[in-house]
A and B are shown apart, each in its own frame.
Chain A
Amino acid sequence: MFYIHCPYCGELREEEEFHPKGQAHIARPADPTACTDEEWGDYLFFRDNPRGIHHELWVHAVGCRKFFNITRHTVSYEILETFKMGEQPSFTTEHPQGGSAESATRQAQDALQAGVHA
């Protein structure tokens, strides 16, 4: 059994209280009627199946009943982090040691600084 940290309840809870809901961060096309069949089919049916870091949507079904995200390693099954909806993962394929959210923030700040200087 896993213990999973629910970011809304703020504590570790048994895996039994949770349900996985598939791949996270799938954006619905802004204008579905303008999609080609292929784009719409990709959106509806096709999911990543990576070997390594995977971002997933889970729900704390028996607890607070909120959806949240988990970054999970599909080889070791290790849960690297859990985070609320709308937040960015810090572990990604490019940043397997974490810190990608911070670097994204830093890049944005750098760009802002550059803009100020320019």
Chain B
Amino acid sequence: MSNTAVETVRTFDTRTEAKIPLESPLAYAYRRSGAPAPTAGSRATLRERPFLGHLILRGGAIVLDEAVRELLGVSLPGEPQGLVHDAEGERSIQWISPDEWLVIVPGGEEFALENRLREALADAHFAISNVSGGQTLVELEGEAARELLMKSVIYDVNPSHFPVGKGVTTVFAKTTVILRRPSESRWELVVRRSFADYTYRWLLDAGEAYGISVER
């Protein structure tokens, strides 16, 4: 075949120049359920990081590792449940399954990164999908964040079992989330857009006992 994958794959930038009001997946939840302000007894804080760039990389670990090292400066987490961040802590790659990784970069960078990855991978057997519009990142912080998670997910979030730099896909209430631990004090939930409202309301309800507050 003379056509390389770079030439035949159609890509497009999902971010448009047009002045269209942008709403995060939680916009409806904020309007309907509000955002509780911190009180004296607040022991947990919720914060959404909307409009980040989410890419799903699929392919062989060795081929992808080379390209990712070159473009992001970090190695691909080859071990199950691995999560690595770059030096600034802005960009991350997470192991999702033996041939699948989730890359999260600051909003606006994902299209350029996708194109550069396609160029670097050229004819290798791989797939990249931009899933930025399909999911959002919710951060949980505070001393009660772990207790709040214990009420919500079936996975064991004890620090001995869930060290920093680990991320799993698991059941959260009646939906699923990708749960990650980028630092000692912070937990991240990657939530599907269609379940963002449910997850938000669940967290507010479960977090009421810890005086959960929402930063916007």
Q: Which residues of A contact B (CB under 8 A)?
A: 8-11, 13-14, 16-17, 62-66
Which A residues are CB-close (under 8 A) to B154? 14, 16-17
Complex alpha-carbon distance, A11 and B170, angstroms: 13
Q: Are A17's CB and B171's CB within 8 A?
A: yes
Chain B, 135-171, contact with A by CB distance < 8 Å: what is the 0/1 string? 0000000000000000000110000000000001111
Q: Which residues of B contact A65 (CB under 8 A)?
A: 97
- Cβ of B176 under 8 Å from chain A: yes
Contacts of B80 in A (CB 8 A): 8-11, 64
- Contact check, A63 vs B98: say whether CB atoms are below 8 A apart: no
CA distance A82 to B98 in the complex (A): 16
> Cα distance A13–B156 when bound, in Å?
9
Q: Decide: B171 and A62 in contact? CB cutoff 8 A.
A: yes
Nearest 4 pairs between A and B by C-beta? A64-B97, A10-B80, A14-B154, A9-B80
A47 to B170, CA, bound (A): 31
Measured CA separation A10–B154 after assembly (Å): 17
Are B171 and A8 neighbours in the complex by a CB distance under 8 Å? no
What B residues does A10 contact at CB under 8 A? 80-81
Does the CB pair A11–B81 fall under 8 Å?
yes
A72 to B: closest C-beta gap in Å: 21
A74 → chain B closest CB, angstroms: 26
Report the nearest B residue to A6, measured CB to CB.
B80
Number of interface residues of B (CB under 8 A): 13
Contact residues of A: prevailing secondary structure: loop
Asked if B169 and A64 make an inter-chain contact with CB atoms under 8 angstroms apart, the answer reads: yes
Q: Do A62 and B97 form a contact, CB below 8 Å, given A9-B80, A11-B80, A11-B81?
A: no
- B residues 163-213 with Cβ under 8 Å of A? 168-171, 176
Q: Nearest Cβ distance between residue A87 and chain B, in whole angstroms?
A: 14
Whole-angstrom distance between the alpha carbons of A114 and B70 in the complex?
51
- List which B41-99 residues lie within 8 A (CB) of chain A: 80-81, 96-98
Instruction: Answer whether A66 and B98 are a contact pair too, CB < 8 Å, given A9-B80, A10-B80, A14-B154.
Output: yes
Additional A-B contact list (10), CB under 8 Å, known A62-B171, A63-B97: A8-B97, A9-B80, A13-B155, A16-B171, A17-B154, A17-B171, A62-B170, A63-B169, A64-B100, A65-B97
Residues of chain A lying within 8 A (CB to CB) of residue B171: 14, 16-17, 62
- Which B residue's beta carbon lies closest to that of A15? B154
21 residue pairs A–B, Cβ–Cβ below 8 Å: A8-B80, A9-B168, A10-B81, A13-B155, A14-B154, A14-B155, A16-B154, A16-B171, A17-B154, A17-B170, A62-B170, A62-B171, A62-B176, A63-B97, A63-B168, A64-B98, A64-B100, A64-B169, A65-B97, A66-B97, A66-B98
